[in-house]
Amino acid sequence: MQAPQRTAFSGPTLIRLLARLADVEVTESRQPLSDRLSQWLHWTDAIALSTALSGNVPAVPPGARAPGSAEETECARVRGTLVNAIAGGAPAAKRHGAAKTSAHGAPMDAAVDYAAFRQIYLSMQQTMETGIGNLRGRLRTKLSAGTPGMNRLAEVDAVMERALGARERSLLATVPGLLGGHFERLRKAERETLADAQAPEDAPVGKPGAWLNVFRKDMQSVLLAELDLRFQPVEGLLAALRTR
């Protein structure tokens, strides 16, 4: 018998990665994007968006300077800083949650607590939100110094950030919980594997505590995928600046 194949999902890398780690089936929504957005936008947001789209945006200040390649450099700097912070989070997690080993080589991982990893993840989410939010605002300022169309785009982006910010935070806040389930499944799997290897002649089962290193790498991959997702509006603004 063959195991049933999962339906291919072409959504964002973050969603596909979480679906794999949580071992859940994910199907693409058949609801049009416009219908979903209408459920997320409050009527006051709709009015603000309509105003921005109608072209009633502030005039470009006199003497405003057109954006240059400095924005490309700034975006690369912010992204590089966040990537380095994510890479540096794994050793920090190791210090807070190192697995101990008994004299018989079995992991004494009862003291390893996911709370330390959860705090690291939440801290990185806050760092990404602050850094990317500030960068997004600076790019909008540069964009508003361009053509009337670019000025309108900057206003639309500001409205969408205000309207969808709470929704984004609410959805991304569920990620640490999904990782917590993955953490416990990895630990349980290693305990069961070591329990089955009771006789000395049994085949090696791997280094005790290796599951924790696997989890660190998985958590880092999820953080990088979330960074890519959060950076999409920035990349859109940057693409608009390139067309000036």
In the predicted model, residues of the chain with pLDDT beneath 70 are 1-10, 26, 28, 33-34, 37-38, 41, 43-53, 55-68, 90-111, 196-208, 244
pTM, rounded to two decimals: 0.77
Q: What angle do CA 144, 67, 129 make, to 5 degrees?
A: 70
Q: What is the pLDDT of residue 173?
A: 96
pLDDT for the residue 23: 80
Angle at 182 between CA 178 and CA 188, to 5 degrees: 145
The confidence score (pLDDT) of residue 83 equals: 96
Is-contact 155 237, C-beta < 8 A?
no
120-144: b (≥16 Cβ within 10 Å) or e: bbeebbeebeebbeebbebbbebbb
What φ, ψ does residue 101 adopt, rounded to 5°?
Answer: -130, 140
Quote the pLDDT of residue 210. 86
Per-residue pLDDT tens for 25-52?
767 677 776 677 667 767 566 666 666 6
7 falls within a domain: no
Q: What is the pLDDT of residue 92?
A: 44
Asked, for residue 4, whether it belongs to a domain, the answer is: no
**In the chain, how many domains are there?**
1
58 falls within a domain: no
Q: What range defines the domain where residue 226 resides?
A: 67-99+106-242
Quick check: is 211 in a domain? yes
- Among 82, 85, 77, smallest CA distance to 238 is for 77
Helices then strands, counting H and E runs in the chain, come out as 9, 2
